[in-house]
Structures are given as structure tokens and as C-alpha cells.
A and B are shown apart, each in its own frame.
Chain A
Amino acid sequence: MAELSLGAVSARPQQSYARRAVKRFFKRKLAVTGFVLLVAMALIVIVGPMLSPYAYDDQDFNVIGSPAPMSPEHWLGSDELGRDALTRLIYGGRISLCVGLAGAVLATIVGVLVGAVSGFYRGWTDAILMRLTDVMMSIPTLPMILLLSGLFRPGPVILVAIVGALIWMGTARLVRSQFLVLREREFVEAARALGAGNMRLMFRHILPNAIGPITVAATLAVGSAIMLESALSFLGFGIQPPVPTWGNLLNSASSWLSTAPWLAIPPGLCILVTVLAVNFVGDGLRDAMEPKE
């Protein structure tokens, strides 16, 4: 009975809050632009490889030997092995976007768990977890990640794990600070008085109230994850050729800068546009979910 009425009270304002946030979000030009760009990008990388007459590792023996410029057969040219640059770009986008998305999801889960436990229990638990977070933040990310992937020669799954393991700290701090404030509020006390256990308090009562900032952080994490994966692949430690990603396409293009500059433009432009779009959406979400600002 008590359970029921509590649920009803908390459910109603939340729904309209979400609806209002969506409305506010779609009023912002940049945020909508970013959103549209991301949807378009997702569609292209899903559908594109099906439409292309080439597979990502098909070799065209008419243009093999050195990179060929744009032509009716190869819209963005082809690389030194005669592979179609556009097909590789789109296929690489699939991998870059998937690794970015999965890495961000993983980082958010870890960050929320660490932050929630830290902010809820406080005391020693908090001290230990936060020092761990500090340590992770002080370790130079890139050398560390390079080393890990140098040792493990990662496939996509391990790569996601590595990326996720190195970008959760910001989210953890954010969630912790939210929990520290929210745990003192009356509705938590009320739920506790009604006999809710710690797990229920943390994940059913407090967490939904912190969902705004977490969503923003998760969105922005997608950008960092894509950036990190590209950097890694660019340096030659990420996903290995012949499988293309935007990062390793840039890596191979960098040996042909003076003779085939057209190979180096599209992959970087794709990373830039994607990360920019993600940041637009993130900023838009922040404004939409925290109207006080």
C-alpha cells in the first residue's frame, strides 16, 4: 500500500520532467543539428556497406600499386592496395562508432557503480574508492592504454574494455557528488523509514534523481571513447588492418601525405563531425535537463 502511493507520487512529475526536457532539447538548434548528424551517421554506417559494390578488403587490380584519386568507380579514391576508400571509410565508421558507444556504456556503468557506492556509504569506502579514482586520473592515459594494447594485441572486445576502464573516473566523481547531496534529502529518509534496503535506496530512489547529469556525462563519454579509439588505432595499437577504423585509415594515409592527400581528409573529418555532434547533443542535454543553469 505504502509502496504503491510512493511510486505514484514519484512517477508523475518524472514523466512530465522527461517530456519537458525533450521539448527543451529540440528547441536548441545546435543540439538538433548534432542529433540529426548522429542519426544520419548511424544510418550510413549500417546501410552503407550493403549498398557498396565492394567489400572492405576487395582489391581493384586496375588501380593497385599506389593510391588512386577519385573516380566514378571509386568516389573517394582507392588506397595503395586498390581498396575502395569510401567503402573502407564507412565500414571503419561502423567499428569506430561501435567501440565508442560500447566503451562509453562500460565507462558509465563502472562510473555509476563506483560513484554510487562511494557517495552512499561515505567513510572508509568512499576514501578508498576516491583515492583509487585519483590514482587512475593521475596515470597518463595514453601511454597506459598503449602499453595495455601493445601487450594484449586487442580485438574489439578487449579494446572496449581498455577504453572503458580508462574513462570512467569523471562519471564516478560526478555520481558521487550527486549521491552525497541526494542521500540527505527527505525522500530518502522517508523511503528508509518505510524499510527500503540500501540497494533499493541507491538504485530505485537516489539514482533516478541523478539521471540528468549522468546522461550528459555518458553522452560526452561517447565522444572521448571515439577519440581514444581513433588515437589508439592511429598509433597502430588498436584494431589491426585489414579491418579499417577511422584511426588506422589515417595511419595508413599518413604515409602518402604528399602524393595522395585525398586519403587523409575524410577519416579525420568523420571523427571531427561525430565528436562535434556528440558534444552538441551533450551540451543540449545539459541545458535541457538542468534548466536552472
Chain B
Amino acid sequence: MRYIIRRLLQSLIVVFGVSIVAFGMLFMTGDPTEVILGDATDRMTVSQIEEFRVKMGFDRPWYVQYASFVGNAVQGDFGYSFIRHQPAFEVITDKLPATIKLASVAFILSLVISIPLGVMSAIRPHRPLDNIATVVALAGQSIPSFWLGILLIMFFGVYLKWLPISGSGSWQHYVMPGITLAAFPIARNMRLTRSSMLDFMQKDFVRTARAKGISENRVVYAHVLRNSLMPIVTSIGLELGFLLGGSVITETIFGWPGVGREIVAAIGSKDFYVVQAGVIMLALIFAGVNLLIDLTYSLIDPRIRFGA
């Protein structure tokens, strides 16, 4: 129980910190009025700008502004997008389903590919299959996702014309963005599964299991793999955060109508409130998923609740 309370408190502090950073972004270049108005200031008189400043409340002390920012944000009010003519929060929540769908596809893809490959590698270490898989995994961790996306587009989209190169809709639209987004987690989870399996293979309880005379398959799947999955479960939280944040690049390349592309577009057009809402939403999801995973983890593994 104490662990749960401490963990909850930590998440609260993180959310508080993120809110400060997101709020502070507006002031980083100096005058928020100029950031929001952008080039429009050229066409406005000084008194008009001043009027806008007062209307937006930028003349108040920063802590008052912060309090009202938090007060509004809690109610889902992140300001109004003058470019989209829509509340910033709505702009982001409209795009959230598309991002979550793509991230889920990539997530499932990464687990389905990485864990079996990692197990195969670990069963026969340093054999050709393992060596190939290791090199591929290293490459997968080092390939820039935007280049992988471009290669896929050139080969399957432009040259073979098998898959649509941009947009969303049919299942074919998921293939290339899904692979692009999943490449890094596939590589990482594969190496993680492999090393974790190899660690557990050395453990006494595995030797005992073998000594009892149960089949090798049962030793590998029921004894080693089940234990090896624990560290992978831990990394899943970070993974989901990565998938949601990493979607910025993938969504931009493939014209996927999600939060990431929206944020990039909003930065380009200086649509500040949308950026703020987007960053906060992504951070909240990330913190929430991690909290959930840590709590589940503490339920599965009592050592975490009582240790430390």
C-alpha cells in the first residue's frame, strides 16, 4: 500500500512538472503575445496588441497565469486555435484515435515478431540463425525511422505499387507505417528476450527442471520463457511512450492523420495552444501507462511491494 501511494505521488509530481514546462514554453521566447499573434503584429497598432495582451491575461503575474492555466487545463480547456477555429483540446482529441490505432498495430507487431525471434536466438546461441538475428536487430536499432519509411515508400509504394504511400483508411494503409514504427521496438525486444532467456537458462531452478527429466520444450517455454518475460513487461511502458512519441516522424512521412503530424503542423503554423495541448496529452498518456504498468508489476511480483 505504501508503495502504491508513493508511486501515485511520484506520478503527480511528474504531471506537475510537465504542466510547468508546457506552460513555460509560451514564455521561452519572451513575450507570449508575439508568439500567439505571430506575423499578425505587423498589421496591428500598438494599442490593439496591448488590448489583446490584456484580453488574454498576459499582463498578469506569471503565477496567476499558471494557476488559471492549470484550472482551465483540468477542465479540458487548453485555449482556442485561431488557425483551426476549434478548441485546441478538440484538435488533439480528434486525432488521438488514429495515433492510438497506429501505435497499437506497431506494438502488437513488435511483440509478435520480437519474442519468438528472441527465443529462437536464445535456444541456439552463436549459431547462424542467432548471428543473423543479432545483426538484423543491431541494424534495426540503428536505422533512422524516417529513412526506413522512405525506403519502404520507394520500394513498395513507388516501384512495386503494392501499398498506398500516404493517408489512412484500409488495412493496407497500416502496413508501412506500422513496420516503420515497430522496427526499433522489434529490435530492442528481441535483444532483451534473448539476453533475459540466456540469463535464466543458467539458473538453478532450470537445472532442477532438466534433472527432473521434463522435456526440453517444457523447460524452455514453461520455466525459462515465463520468467524471462518479466523484464520485457517492464520495458513495455517505455515502449508505448516511445511509440506514441515516435509517431511524430512516422505520421509525418506517411501523412497519417494523428496527433504527431498535427503537432508538427501546429509548430509550423505557430498554433501554440495546439502544441501545448498535444505535448501535455502525450506526456499524460506516457505517465499514465507507466503508472499502470508499475502498479500491475507490483501486484505480480511481491518483491517490489516489500523490497526497497
Contacts and interface: CB of A to CB of B under 8 A. Distances in A.
Contact of A279 (B17, B142, B150): B142
B79 interface: no
Contact of B139 (A143, A147, A237, A272): A272
A272 B142 contact: yes
A143 B260 contact: yes
B264 interface: yes
A276 B139 contact: yes
A139 B278 CA distance: 11
A234 B264 CA distance: 12
B147 A151 contact: no
A22 B144 CA distance: 30
Contact of A235 (B17, B143, B241, B249): B249
B130 to A, nearest CB: 14
Given A140-B279, A231-B146, A280-B138, A135 B29 contact: no
Q: In the complex, which range does the number of interface residues on chain A fall in?
A: 35 or more
A261 B150 CA distance: 10
Interface stretch (B83-91, B111-119, B202-210, B281-289): B281-289
Nearest to B134: A30
A157 to B, nearest CB: 17
A142 B245 contact: yes
Interface stretch (B47-55, B70-78, B151-159): B151-159
A267 B146 CA distance: 11
B10 interface: yes
B244 interface: yes
Interface string B1-38: 00000000010011001100100010011000001000
Contacts of A227: 144
B154 A135 contact: no
B209 to A, nearest CB: 25
A237 B270 CA distance: 13
B286 A138 contact: yes
B264 A235 contact: yes
Interface residues of B, number: 46
A257 B279 contact: no
Nearest to A150: B267
Contacts of B146: 230-231, 234, 247, 250, 268
B164 interface: no
A142 B279 contact: no
Nearest to B259: A143
Contacts of B282: 140, 143
Interface in B184-211: none
B275 interface: yes
Nearest to A236: B268
Given A142-B248, A257-B154, A276-B138, A134 B144 contact: no
Given A147-B267, A230-B144, 5 more contacts: A134-B10, A140-B279, A143-B278, A250-B147, A272-B139
10 contacts: A132-B17, A138-B283, A139-B21, A140-B286, A143-B248, A146-B263, A146-B267, A234-B249, A264-B154, A279-B138
Closest A-B pairs by Cβ, 9 of them: A268-B147, A135-B17, A140-B245, A276-B142, A275-B142, A140-B282, A150-B267, A142-B248, A258-B158
